[in-house]
Chains A and B, each alone.
Chain A
Amino acid sequence: MRWIWIDRFLEFESGKRAVAIKNVSLAEEHLHDHFPGRPVMPNSLITEGIAQTGGLLVGEYHSFAKKVVLAKLPKAVFHFPVIPGDTLRYETTVDYIKDDGAMVTAVSKVGDRVQAELEVVFAHLSDDDRTKNLFEPKNFVFTLKLLGVFDVGRRADGSRLTEPPGLLKLEEELKAAGT
C-alpha cells in the first residue's frame, strides 16, 4: 500500500511552488472513526498531504537523489474542520532549498477560504548506514507520474517537465532490488 494523501497536482514549478488537491470522501474509512456520526478530515492527515506536496517539490529539485524527510513544523494553524465533499487545495511555496534541508510555506484552502497555514521544514538525510535502507527516493518519480506532475509540471526555465528517460528501466531495476 502506498501512503498517499494527495490526489493530483494542478501546478508544479520545479524548485519554486506546487499546488495539489485532495478530495475528501465518505468512502474513506478513517472518516467513519473520526468521529463516529461526525466525520472530520484529521488535520494530521492534511499536514501529511501538505508535507507530501512540498516534499515531492523539494525531492524533485534534487532529482530524488536525496532522502527528504519531514523534520519540523515551525507553524501549523487550522481555521475550520474539513468534511466529506470538500476539496482541499494545498498551495506550497519553497522558502529555501539548501544542501542539508529545505523549508516550504503552505496554505490549505477549501474554495477561497484559507483552512490552514503551515511552515514545513525538511531535512536531507545523509546516506549513512542507519538510513541506507530506509527508503529509495528514486521511487518518488513514479509517485510524480501517478499524481499527474508530468502533465502540468514546469522546469525553472518554464519548459515542460518531462518524465525522466529510462523510467521503465528504473522501475525494473528497483523491482529487482526489492525496494
Chain B
Amino acid sequence: MPSQNEVFEKVQSVLCEALGVDEDEVTPEATLVGDLGAESIDFLDIVFRLEKAFDIKISRGELFPEDVLTSTDYVANGKVTETGIAELRKRMPFVNLDKFASNPNVKDFGTLLTVQDMVRFVETKLPK
C-alpha cells in the first residue's frame, strides 16, 4: 500500500490537472469548492482521474452524496436532519462532519470537502 505522502502527491496532481490550479495551492487543508474553485462538473472529471491514477472504481455519489442531500427523507427546511447526518457519516467516514452537523445547511455541504478528505477517501478504496 502506498504511503500517505504518495497518495497525497497523486491526488495533488489529479487536482492540478482537473482544476487548473498550481501545486502549491493544493494543500491538505484546502477545500475543493471554496479554495480550489471546483464546480459540480469538476467532480465527474476528478473521479475519472482518481480512478485512472489509483486503478480504483468510484461509484456515483460516493464523493458527493447528491441523493442524500436532495432526499426529503434526510433534508427538511434546507437543513440535513439527524437521520441525514447519520447517513452521511456512514457513507462518508473520510470526512469530518462535526462542524457541519452543528449547522447543517445543505448549501454549505459542498464547501466541506478538503484535499485531506480526498486522500483519506482514496486510502479507503486501495487494497489493504
Contact = CB atoms under 8 A, between A and B. Distances in A.
Interface of A: 71-72, 74-75, 95-96, 98-101, 103, 121, 123
B18 interface: yes
Given A74-B17, A100-B60, A95 B48 contact: yes
B60 A99 contact: yes
Contacts of B48: 95-96, 98, 103
Contact of A121 (B20, B45, B60): B45
Contact of A101 (B17, B18, B44): B44
B42 interface: yes
Nearest to B19: A74
Nearest to B41: A71
Given A96-B48, A98-B48, 6 more contacts: A72-B42, A98-B44, A98-B60, A99-B60, A121-B41, A121-B45
Contacts of A99: 60
B17 A72 contact: no
A103 B60 contact: no
Nearest to B17: A74
A123 B45 contact: no
B17 A121 contact: no
A38 to B, nearest CB: 30
